[in-house]
Amino acid sequence: MKKRLLLLTTILSLILLGACGGGEKQGESSGESNDEAKRISIATTQTEDSHYGAYLNTFKEEVEKNSNGAIEVSLHYNSELGNERDNVESVQMGTLDGAFISSGVISNFVDEFNVLDFPFLFENTEHARSVLNSDIGEEFNASLLEVGIKNLGFGENGFRNITNNERPIVTPKDLEGIKIRTMEVPIHQEVFAEFGASPTPMAWSEVFTSLQQGVIDAQENPIAIIYSSKLNEVQKYVSMSGHVYSPAVFIFNNELFESFSGDLQQVLLDAAKVAQQANYDFIDQNTEAQLEELKQLGMEINEIDLKAFQDAAQPVIDKYKGEYSELYDKIKAAAN
């Protein structure tokens, strides 16, 4: 009896799965949707109401409006399709069409991206945005293409700030003994070790619970993420370190991109451009209010001793700079 029930359930789920388009396989379309449409699946580890959602919802809207039903976009939020490192691998292999991620984990696949993870590289938001949208940004895109990944366009995650449960962080000394989660980015781990903290690389999806359970004391992310992920529920202090600027990158399987007609390729690129603006606008219009709300919710926010942090980071910059000095100097020279 049990066996028959199991068989029935299996058959039922197979039928259901078939009707729903069977998950992530490229080119399948659902019963209700346009049979001619190519459905592309895009992943993010972040929430729909964040600056990542502002980007991706705009992208979807633009693509579906301007491709005349040729492309449908299905969005997968909250690490539903894995962490950012998995996303890069899947996009590279073509088992996932695209993902909007922090550039950080890409340095594990493409050396040049290490430069973007240098502490105190960008002077301010304007500097970062203009560099990434210039020929220098194109250099990064070219190196990404060599591993089969097309960058449809840069977006912004933002300047990263430290949150923790122990004390306000003003100088690197305040980080002593603090277990801080970093992205899976070797330079970030070295920088935090240099600051005196104990860095622990971890996928984003595990961070909230790990903070809640005290497995780690601290993490670092832009205000937009601290806010959208409700880190105020598990963290007390926000220290405005701005130690690293996190670009976001819209990675896309290049073989799939090349399979589209020139017109549809242009639709995708144009949509990414409009989405970028929506992402920038979201950050520009919300950051201050988000900071204010985090304060209302009980977080303590403090400024840091920038010079002390810059001095402490210098040995790591010196160690890595040699390999990437040309790119590094170009980025620095583009400031102001």
Q: List contacts with ligand EAX (CB under 6 A).
A: 45-46, 84, 101-102, 157, 183, 204, 221, 225, 246
To ligand EAX, the closest distance from the beta carbon of 242 in angstroms equals 14
Per this entry, what is the length of the chain? 336
Asked if residue 53 lies in contact with residue 46, where contact means CB atoms within 8 angstroms, the answer is: yes
To ligand EAX, the closest distance from the beta carbon of 225 in angstroms equals 6
To ligand EAX, the closest distance from the beta carbon of 180 in angstroms equals 11
Is the CB of 91 or the CB of 183 nearer to ligand EAX? 183
Q: Tell me the C-alpha to C-alpha distance, in Å, between residue 163 and each of 73, 121, 215, 225, 231.
A: 35, 21, 15, 11, 9
Is the CB of 78 or the CB of 314 nearer to ligand EAX? 78
To ligand EAX, the closest distance from the beta carbon of 233 in angstroms equals 17
54: its two tokens:
């502002």
Is the CB of 84 or the CB of 190 nearer to ligand EAX? 84
To ligand EAX, the closest distance from the beta carbon of 77 in angstroms equals 12
Is the CB of 46 or the CB of 276 nearer to ligand EAX? 46
> Between the CA atoms of 241, 242, 243 and 244, what dihedral angle is there, to the nearest 10 degrees?
160
Q: Tell me the C-alpha to C-alpha distance, in Å, between residue 203 and each of 72, 133, 223.
A: 29, 28, 18
Helices (H), 67-152: 84-93, 125-132, 135-145
| DSSP classification of residue 242 | -
To ligand EAX, the closest distance from the beta carbon of 105 in angstroms equals 8
Tell me how far apart the 2 most distant CA atoms of the chain are, in Å: 74
Is the CB of 164 or the CB of 221 nearer to ligand EAX? 221
> Nearest-CB residue to ligand EAX?
102
To ligand EAX, the closest distance from the beta carbon of 5 in angstroms equals 41
User: Distance (Å, rounded) from C-alpha 223 to C-alpha 48?
Assistant: 16
Rg (CA), the chain: 21
Is the CB of 38 or the CB of 204 nearer to ligand EAX? 204
Is the CB of 102 or the CB of 287 nearer to ligand EAX? 102
> What are the DSSP calls for 287-300, one per residue?
HHHHHHHHHHTT-E
Q: Which residues pair with 116 in a beta bridge?
A: none
